[in-house]
Structure 1
Amino acid sequence: MENSFKRVIEHIFDNWTGLKLAVDYGSAGSNSKEVATGFMNYMIEYCLNESNVDVDSIQEALDDVMDQEFDTICEDGSTKEIAILLYKFLELIKQGNTVAFDEEYQKLSVSGACTNKNEIAVKENLNNDICEHSEIEENCTPMDQDSEWIEVKSRKRR
């Protein structure tokens, strides 16, 4: 039971854009990968051993760990999506319905679940922000030698 659920959580966490970004940017410090592994193990234990687990409690646990450990708030709805998936698989395990579990897992594997539907838009926005940030830096001039502030001059667009 635990191995089957672990396989699902590993797949979901491996495809979760928000967690990937948090780990890639080192949001939990230099050991972000280890923290993510601990997060996965915590969610396995929480879902399998906590009494009265439901979608909302799973989402709350996901949100809490992302906020406390990775200093990240997921506003893209991914924690809700993941909570729904985890709860669905958890219920199939509790019912002992291994056939339906395997069918749902195969669907999950094909669909690449939990990749944010807006992932392309997010990447484009990040690229635009980087470009805009570079343009701003080119137009920056120090205000005062002792000040940490810089003056940003706007540039007219054609």
Structure 2
Amino acid sequence: MSASTSGGGPLSPQAAAEFQEGIRLVFGRWTALQMAVENEWGGRDSRAKADQLAASIFSWFANSKGPFYYEDLEDMMFDSMSESFHTDCEDGSVGEVAVHLLTMHEECLQNNFSSIEKLRNTRPQGNVVSQSRQVANEDDDDSSDDDDESSMGEDVAARSEDMAVDEPKPSKPTPDADGWTTVPPRRGRGKN
């Protein structure tokens, strides 16, 4: 994906303030970042590191003439998460956050703050990290740790409902033509 947004000139003072607030709101809903902060994956100053990431992102937009490339922003966020929090975000959330920030910046250049206003008015329900843990516990962690992280916390409730659906369980594994037996996942084990 090589999408970019135009430079469009500097943000007005109001647009700059709105954009900073938008970055803060997006980062507050980014589960991977919030887990890194809460669990102090970046050490005791994890909150300060998250705040510095937000400031660096704002500075990148404010001090560059553009065009702003998706890959550059995504790489910067991947590097920061890796270096500051020792975290490799392979859940697609970095890309989603990058797209959201690029869109929000483009809107702010046009003095359109509707997406930021929407974020302000749709507070995440409870703590994004605790919601992620709830989903992980319901999933019984049968695969990788990346599956329990939603990008912005908005899909957690929907995913939780999807996981509540009971699927029919095979009665007994049967060997295939080569004599190999497929073992079903351990989902639901220990919940009886």
TM bucket (normalised to shorter chain) is 0.5 to 0.7
Q: Higher helix proportion, which one?
A: 1
The percent of aligned pairs where both chains have the same amino acid is 25
Say which of 93, 101, 104 aligns to 2:115.
104
| 1:128-156 superposed Cα distances (whole Å, 9 cap, x missing partner) | 79xxxxxxxxxxxxxxxxxxxxxxxxxxx
Superposition map of 1:75-86 within 5 A: 75-86=90-101
| 1:21-71 superposed Cα distances (whole Å, 9 cap, x missing partner) | 111121111111111111111111012222331222111111110011111
Aligned residues: 124
User: How far did residue 10 of structure 1 move?
Assistant: 0.5
| 1:63-88 superposed Cα distances (whole Å, 9 cap, x missing partner) | 11001111101111111111111000
1:6 aligns with 2:20: yes
1:57 aligns with 2:72: yes
| 1:103-138 superposed Cα distances (whole Å, 9 cap, x missing partner) | 2223334274xx69x945435457779xxxxxxxxx
1:26 aligns with 2:40: yes
**TM-score, normalisation: structure 2:** 0.56
Amino acid aligned to 1:67: S
CA distance in 1, matches of 2:81, 2:46: 11
Q: Which residue of 1 aligns with 2:89?
A: 74
Amino acid aligned to 1:81: E
The answer for unaligned runs of 5 or more in structure 2 is 1-14, 144-188
- Conserved? CA contact 1:48–1:90, under 8 Å: no
Q: SS of 2:68's equivalent? A: coil
The answer for unaligned runs of 5 or more in structure 1 is 130-156
Amino acid aligned to 1:89: M
